[in-house]
Chains A and B, each alone.
Chain A
């Protein structure tokens, strides 16, 4: 579904990604793990059309989307739940969700998707008219996911969905990602929380200093000595 080939990205003189290649098949969960500053967010931003790569190719559903602006990438079906949630704090919860459905592909499905999301996150329905900035961290994360789903995506890139959340809420969030995946959503899960995300994913990639250092099945990577030493402290 998504193929990334030899992707290199620079921020000024600093290289964020160096020849990254990966592929995601339809219907799977792929985990990208790595320490802070390994290039995980750069990868998502570049695939999402928010940053131009200096080299390499990105293909989604067979279409070359390299260098496309973000609104076109989104409209092709690539959604993202960004790091830091990036909700609209001074707009109501409902307005936030509506903003997710501004894409041409999602406009007609707005009412149906809204109902679906309210079913998934009843809390958002209760707080529909409240300013999004007044929500708790967990609720804001729900809103970020709900807003993304309003765009009727086929692939969703989750950037650190567990960051800054209480452990119980993290489990809740991961359960939701698993449910969405079972309903057919392809997921790319980018996490510092290596153990959790590799357990959830079918495939994983380990990103270090902008390069893919390891790839393999989720369980296989979890059993790898290098991963255990570097990320799990075992």
Chain B
């Protein structure tokens, strides 16, 4: 095997990792601010994938163009879910919150099964088999577009949280809940916005992911697990951490597939997770809990 192969695989893993990272951002934003762990994470992403598929099949819209639409729809879904449902369990014990989110996950799977059936389906775009060649590097066009889109959406998200008043107010809620109440922030509305933004990330990640994989209703749990691994590796609640974790997992999965065996991909991710938990339990970019 040549060095070119490894480079190709690593680049392709990096691009996939960016999408993983965007998806993990959705989990991290919600946990970092509202302190709710979204156990329906993967299912919501699958919902985004199916929404993208419907737009592609019915109207012929390219997944990357339907990304804003799907993100907006998932934003509305998350906003209402937080404000109408999740908010009411916030004062209950953690396991009650888990039960709620897990049951939402089951419901989403069932809805997808009823609407779309159990079979794997995909969106076959016209440029699906094209690739870019740069020197020894040969990368799928879709993967480049997908990685770039994930990077753009993540960048927008960082800009939102650091430069807009609403984004800063959301960070303030996550930093000190009582403080946010004291200065007169509308915490209830900001929480709903946060959940909406978190699920919008999943909508965006789902739309992008449909370029690379076939979607079926049972895809959700594996994405939930993957996002957990990424967020724990990167650091719970840290946005750059989520992106970094995503890239690490993407690259290491891809390389493990070539160097070891494709079936050892997940073992490698979990190995990385265990290593991080042993050496740096707060995650690579996480802060030590005070």
A residues bordering B, Cβ < 8 Å?
Answer: 48, 50, 69-71, 73-75, 80, 82, 84, 86-91, 95, 98-100, 102-103, 147-148, 151
B136 partner residues in chain A, CB cutoff 8 A = none
Whole-angstrom CA separation of A69 from B172 in the bound complex: 18
* B186 in contact with A99 (CB, 8 Å): no
For chain B residues 142-192, which have a beta carbon within 8 Å of chain A?
165, 168-169, 171-172, 175-176, 178-188
A98 partner residues in chain B, CB cutoff 8 A = 165, 168
B185 partner residues in chain A, CB cutoff 8 A = 71, 99, 102
Q: Which of B169, B178, B180, B184 contacts A73 (CB 8 A)?
A: B184
Q: Which of B169, B188, B287 contacts A99 (CB 8 A)?
A: B169
Q: A70-B182, A103-B184 given. 19 additional CB < 8 A pairs?
A: A69-B188, A71-B186, A73-B184, A74-B183, A82-B178, A86-B178, A87-B179, A88-B171, A88-B176, A88-B179, A89-B176, A91-B168, A91-B171, A91-B172, A91-B175, A95-B171, A102-B169, A102-B184, A103-B183
B175 partner residues in chain A, CB cutoff 8 A = 88-91
* B168 in contact with A95 (CB, 8 Å): yes
Shortest distance in angstroms between A67's beta carbon and chain B's nearest beta carbon? 15
A99 partner residues in chain B, CB cutoff 8 A = 168-169, 172, 179-180, 183, 185
B176 partner residues in chain A, CB cutoff 8 A = 86-89
Whole-angstrom CA separation of A69 from B181 in the bound complex: 9
Shortest distance in angstroms between B268's beta carbon and chain A's nearest beta carbon? 33
Name the CB-closest residue of A to B171: A91
B181 partner residues in chain A, CB cutoff 8 A = 48, 50, 70
For chain B residues 107-127, which have a beta carbon within 8 Å of chain A?
none
B187 partner residues in chain A, CB cutoff 8 A = 71
0 or 1 for each of B56-100: is its CB under 8 Å from A? (1 = yes): 000000000000000000000000000000000000000000000
B186 partner residues in chain A, CB cutoff 8 A = 69, 71
Most chain A Cβ neighbours within 10 Å, of B171, B176, B178, B183: B183
Known: A82-B178, A86-B178. A100 touches B172 (CB 8 A): no
Whole-angstrom CA separation of A84 from B168 in the bound complex: 22
17 CB contacts below 8 A, A to B, read A48-B181, A50-B178, A71-B186, A73-B184, A74-B183, A75-B184, A80-B182, A86-B176, A86-B182, A88-B172, A88-B175, A91-B168, A95-B168, A98-B168, A99-B172, A99-B180, A148-B183
Whole-angstrom CA separation of A215 from B179 in the bound complex: 31
Whole-angstrom CA separation of A84 from B171 in the bound complex: 19
For chain B residues 232-290, which have a beta carbon within 8 Å of chain A?
287
A71 partner residues in chain B, CB cutoff 8 A = 184-187
